[in-house]
Amino acid sequence: MVLESGKTGRARRWTAHNRSDPLDASNEHRKCRRYAFGAAALVSEKEALRHWVIEGTAPHGRDETMNSNRLCALGAVLVLVAPALAQQPYPPPYQAPPPPQYQPPVQYQPPAPPPQAPPQYQQAPPQYQQAPPQYQQAPPQYQQAPPQYQQAPPQYQQAPPQYQQAPPQYQQAPPQYPQAPPYAVPPPPPPYQPYQSPSGSPSTAHTQSQQGITYHPFRMWLGGGYSITQGSTVKDLLNDGGMGGLGIAWFPTASIPFGIRVDGSYTSHSQTNHALDLASQSTGQQIGDGYTDIYGGDVDAEIDLPLGTRSREYFFGGVGWYRERTTLKSVTYQQGTICWFYCYPGYYPVYSTAQVSTTGWLPSWNAGIGFEFPLGGSASFFLDGRFLRIKQPNNGGYWDFIPIRAGIRF
């Protein structure tokens, strides 16, 4: 078996005495040198035979051209070049392009017809063989110039006449009137005096109603209204009730809106169920009905304040005295015939006076406000309200009321 190097040309031949068992060769021929790339390396017989049997190639030895000096120089170059290579930016990673957007298919449209060429006239337009006539004779020219006026227009050598005399001036001033015209100042008009119709005529009442409420030293009033109970004491015993009254007022003079009035009133209040129960216990009878009448009068002072020509308000207040009369009625039921649309047998109540009591004159005081409107003539309509407090006997406290009245003054 022969091993040789094809690159260097230098080879060693190794002949085995026995090709069938090359492992039994002598120690002298166990090793051989193989030269590759100008260097030699020891190769054993087993290694050479294994390369030849398995790979079919000759084994190569180590290349000693890359010695330690060259390796150190190459490492130093790599150390110097590595930072520059590290700073070089890496190319961006590959990004896939976005998918194409969906576009709806174009609707089918029939192809446009091919354009038609304009028609061509096969016959050329006629051409005029004869040229238009030309005028060989030039137009006539006027050889005589127009006439010129050799005489200048006449000029006026004489200037227009000037007026050397100034217009006359009036040296005498117009006459002045030294005295005022003899017109006397008219006297002032007389004071206004409204028309006064005779008394009793129908226009008198209308004139007075338009002017407002007329003054009268004595005036009377007549009216009625509703009395409202106030406070828990009187509300437990009496209900609200109606009232009526009359009065007279005296005003000494029209320049002072102050007067004195005297009022009288009568009020009736029905008793509550609580008051009837108390009366039944005190009398020992079955009290089914009862009422309290309050009557008396007041002496008040009044002050009138106008609110225009068509109304006025007034304030009043003073003292008074009242009496209270209480009537209690007992009830019994008797058998008989009751008729209401038709008659039928039954029991009906029979009332009888069980007790009547009257107090003495009880002191009181009141204050209120009212409004008055003219009706025509000396009559006027009024509406007022006041607060009235009456002292009860036997230290029973006070009963409070708010009477509201409306009526006519004349």
> Among residues of the chain, what percentage have pLDDT more than 90?
39
pLDDT, position 89: 57
d(CA 390, CA 231): 12
pLDDT, position 58: 46
d(CA 202, CA 207): 9
For 24-40, what is each residue's pLDDT tens digit? 444 444 444 443 334 44
pTM for this one? 0.49
Of the given ranges (105-114, 180-189, 206-215, 400-409), which has the lowest mean pLDDT? Answer: 206-215
Q: Which helix (H) or strand (E) holds 279?
A: helix 273-283
Whether residue 404 contacts residue 226, with contact meaning beta carbons closer than 8 Å, is answered with yes
Q: What residue has token string 């039954």?
A: 346
pLDDT, position 44: 59
Q: Choose which CATH entry (3.40.640.10, 2.40.160.20, 2.60.120.10, 3.40.50.1970) describes domain 214-409.
A: 2.40.160.20
d(CA 394, CA 360): 11
Average pLDDT over residues 135-164: 62
Whether residue 271 contacts residue 242, with contact meaning beta carbons closer than 8 Å, is answered with no
pLDDT beyond 50 at 391: yes
pLDDT beyond 80 at 213: yes
For 292-345, what is each residue's pLDDT tens digit? 999 999 999 999 999 988 899 999 999 999 999 999 999 888 899 889 888 989
**Greater confidence, 55 or 174?**
174
Q: Which helix (H) or strand (E) holds 235?
A: helix 232-235
pLDDT beyond 90 at 197: no
Q: What is the mean pLDDT of the chain?
A: 76
d(CA 259, CA 218): 9
Q: What residue has token string 């030309």?
A: 134
Q: What residue has token string 């009216």?
A: 223
Ordered by start, the domain boundaries in the chain are 1-81, 214-409
Of the given ranges (18-27, 208-217, 312-321), which has the lowest mean pLDDT? Answer: 18-27
pLDDT, position 111: 64
Q: Closest by alpha carbon to 316, among 247, 380, 408, 252? A: 247
pLDDT, position 327: 96
Whether residue 268 contacts residue 245, with contact meaning beta carbons closer than 8 Å, is answered with no
pLDDT, position 379: 93
> Among residues of the chain, what percentage have pLDDT more than 70?
56
Show the 3-state SS of 83-96: HHHHHCCCCCCCCC
pLDDT beyond 60 at 50: yes
